[in-house]
Structure 1
């Protein structure tokens, strides 16, 4: 796994020079809030042999992600998101839908910024990535603890399938880490 703070490359299938970044966001100590981190950790083995895919466990980082978002041709962000849906519901938002859907999102403290703010700042300071996809998961339990709730845990397989499908549309092929055969 790669840490955005070290900016060290990760050995994570080639696709004509395009760079892909998969970012898992969330706090592992707040149960379902950590779903993005759980998902990116589950996805990382699929891209072990890919030099153009970065899987980032972002935790609760914000501005530190600007360079990653700006330098990617396709950024996929996985995060818990309040969407007024049933717990465990997975929804996909593309590009401008993200800013529109989460325009009223607020940071929990003055030291944090929202994902929407991070993306807008990246657009302003750098060039906008070709594509940004947010895979949002409606949380069920946000409280102290490290285990995902059963409903959100069940959503992990959908998150993996959606992520692999989004990348395969771009011609990217992931390989099942157990069989070393195409995953999708």
Structure 2
């Protein structure tokens, strides 16, 4: 999925894999934003992208953006499936990669460190991470993770409305 201009002012990036159950939550949230865009248009210059989270694809997805909003699944111990975390790039947590926070073989911290080294960070990076219960093979989100989709969509829409002049 890729909706909008070649150089986005805002990039909303869903990270995940639809065939690993709860790991598809980032994709479900971005798909929900795309479906709602008919009723509630996103600010001009917003690009919606789905990716598996491979670091170079993430960097390419947010390149040139004033704001990148990344949505992903997270493994946390102890887990509370469906719990939503909202983090910003300037948070100290992003200074060092954390292996336990990603449901992928690499971390967002790895991508941030690489982008920082290459001088390709977005102007601002906002991350929504939803704690997951099941990343086994298959489709469909677990009930607690599925229940987090609409609240995250609403929070992202609020974030976008606050960054857009005149709510545009």
RMSD, aligned α-carbons = 2.6
Aligned partner of 2:80 in structure 1 is: 86
How many matched pairs? 160
Q: How does 1:14-163 map to 2 (within 5 A)?
A: 19-47=9-37, 51-84=44-77, 85-97=79-91, 98-100=93-95, 103-105=97-99, 113-163=106-156
Structure 2 residues not aligned, in runs of 5+: none
- Deviation of 1:76 after TM superposition, in Å, equals 0.4
Normalising by structure 1, report the TM-score.
0.75
Counterpart secondary structure, 1:96 = coil
**Contact 1:73-1:131 at 8 Å conserved across structures:** yes
Normalized per residue, the structure richer in helix is: 2
| Gap change, CA 1:60 and 1:146, over 3 Å in 2 | farther
**Contact 1:135-1:159 at 8 Å conserved across structures:** yes
- Deviation of 1:127 after TM superposition, in Å, equals 4.2
What is the distance in 1 between the residues matched to 2:103 and 2:153? 28
Q: Which moved more, 1:46-55 or 1:90-99?
A: 46-55
**Contact 2:16-2:27 at 8 Å conserved across structures:** yes
What is the distance in 1 between the residues matched to 2:55 and 2:88? 19
Greater relative contact order (CA < 8 Å, ≥ 6 in sequence): 2
Normalising by structure 2, report the TM-score.
0.82
- Deviation of 1:91 after TM superposition, in Å, equals 1.0
